[in-house]
Copies of this chain bind each other. A is one copy, B any other.
């Protein structure tokens, strides 16, 4: 007899009935080929003794598996693995290779060299400095679990199964349209909105519809690196304008429009990524005029509008007068955390119809359960209360981190406290180069996971985004202490 006592791990404290656990684990043994077709199983009496279980439990498990066609029984005594198991015994028609997937390179493909690889996270750092994420400790886990449970019914699943809500289910489109109109002074209808997997997918879809290889795209220097990478992937040539303490230089944009055939402008007027600068009202008005005059297609990326620590934020460009030229992109992910990738794109109905068709080729369905959950939170007012709560917390942390860094690291880094958002833009003193700091910090339990912006091609200084929103006072203090202790190494 096989060593069932070792092979079968039964947890008597589990909520799952023991006979069901037993049945599932026997299925795994069959699937793994440990129990082979036609192999005889031990009698219920024998297995019961071996596993120290009641015989009736074994019988219940065997009977379940007989009903499901995994086992067959002869005269209710002898139990054998079925010889007719569709999912475990495929026919081979060619001598099997050890693994064909060791051969490399096999296919000729785009190596994606222009896209940076992602930073690896070390095992269990004490504190992680991200580049601007929410604090998931305030996430309403119980409320969301309950809502998910309420929605996860056969009826909901059936409805989702047969509807094609590629750009979002009706309930999230209606609720989100209303939320955006209320909070951002937009004046849109549901036909102006589609839902995407995060803002990133919205950027990809919008850019793919507009850009053809060789087209010129105007971006700030520097800009959000994953947007730059999308434009490069689509074959665009990037033309840059500087960004200063008032945001993107709009005079430079005007010049670029005169001197180049610009197909698209990508811009982040609130809390510019990476530099966190908010564009002034004068420049916004001037930029809207340029957009209208030049009939300039614009992607306005407003990824963390919801976090504003100085009262009365500016309206997005999208809420101004732009004759439909501003594609407005945002995300709820910065509110709810990375697990809830709910981005959106606002544009004219015709543009969105094409965007939905392109999305269909990439991601056929939206996530109806997540959308339903978020819509319910919005409809009840809880979502707005949650944002207010987060705003208060992050505003406090913005002050706390700013004071701490000014006092403790003022001689090493330079930054300007942002009007909102979730990160500081730390410029490193040239005696204190970032490249030498990251590894040393990591060795002390502090991991910097934001992309390091190193002095060189584009920048005159080393810099990194220091996300403060996700860290409490102790974590902020630990981070600053580690950074302070690191000896500059040139």
For A, the interface residue count at a CB cutoff of 8 angstroms equals 154
State which of B90, B99, B204, B320 has its C-beta within 8 Å of the C-beta of A187: B99
What is the CA–CA distance of A166 and B226 in the complex, to the nearest angstrom?
13
> Is A349 interfacial (CB 8 A cutoff)?
yes
Binds B, one of A46-54, A306-314, A431-439: A306-314
Closest to A144 in B: B152
Stoichiometry, copies per complex: 2
Residues of B within 8 A of A158 (CB): 136-137
> Is A360 interfacial (CB 8 A cutoff)?
yes
Given A105-B350, A136-B154, check contact A130 B313 (CB 8 Å). no
Binds B, one of A240-248, A333-341, A406-414, A478-486: A333-341
| Least CB distance, A11 to chain B, in whole angstroms | 10
CB within 8 Å of B: which A16-56 residues: 16, 21, 23-28, 31-33
Contact A104 B362 (CB under 8 A): no
Closest to A319 in B: B96
What is the CA–CA distance of A315 and B94 in the complex, to the nearest angstrom?
9
State which of B185, B186, B189, B339 has its C-beta within 8 Å of the C-beta of A367: B339
CB within 8 Å of B: which A293-315 residues: 295, 297, 306, 308-309, 311-315
> Is A460 interfacial (CB 8 A cutoff)?
no
Contact B112 A354 (CB under 8 A): yes
Contact A192 B313 (CB under 8 A): no
Contact B324 A102 (CB under 8 A): yes
| Least CB distance, A340 to chain B, in whole angstroms | 9
Contact A101 B384 (CB under 8 A): no
State which of B90, B109, B282 has its C-beta within 8 Å of the C-beta of A314: B90
Closest to A182 in B: B31
> Is A449 interfacial (CB 8 A cutoff)?
yes
Contact B319 A106 (CB under 8 A): no
Given A139-B154, A323-B100, check contact A161 B130 (CB 8 Å). yes
> Is A351 interfacial (CB 8 A cutoff)?
yes
Contact A101 B209 (CB under 8 A): no
| Least CB distance, A343 to chain B, in whole angstroms | 10
> Is A322 interfacial (CB 8 A cutoff)?
yes
| Least CB distance, A202 to chain B, in whole angstroms | 10
Contact with B along A95-121 (1 / 0, CB 8 A): 111111111111111111001011101
Residues of B within 8 A of A391 (CB): 86-87
Given A201-B363, A315-B93, A363-B201, check contact A157 B141 (CB 8 Å). yes
What is the CA–CA distance of A309 and B84 in the complex, to the nearest angstrom?
10
State which of B110, B162, B368 has its C-beta within 8 Å of the C-beta of A133: B162
Residues of B within 8 A of A423 (CB): none
What is the CA–CA distance of A296 and B323 in the complex, to the nearest angstrom?
49
> Is A230 interfacial (CB 8 A cutoff)?
yes
Contact A109 B337 (CB under 8 A): no
Contact B106 A200 (CB under 8 A): no
What is the CA–CA distance of A384 and B27 in the complex, to the nearest angstrom?
7
Residues of B within 8 A of A104 (CB): 324, 348-351
Residues of B within 8 A of A443 (CB): none
What is the CA–CA distance of A118 and B361 in the complex, to the nearest angstrom?
12
Closest to A143 in B: B16
Name 19 interchain pairs, CB-CB below 8 A, sorted by A.
A68-B388, A70-B385, A91-B281, A92-B315, A92-B319, A93-B281, A94-B284, A94-B315, A97-B187, A97-B322, A99-B188, A104-B324, A107-B210, A115-B357, A160-B338, A161-B338, A200-B362, A200-B363, A339-B365
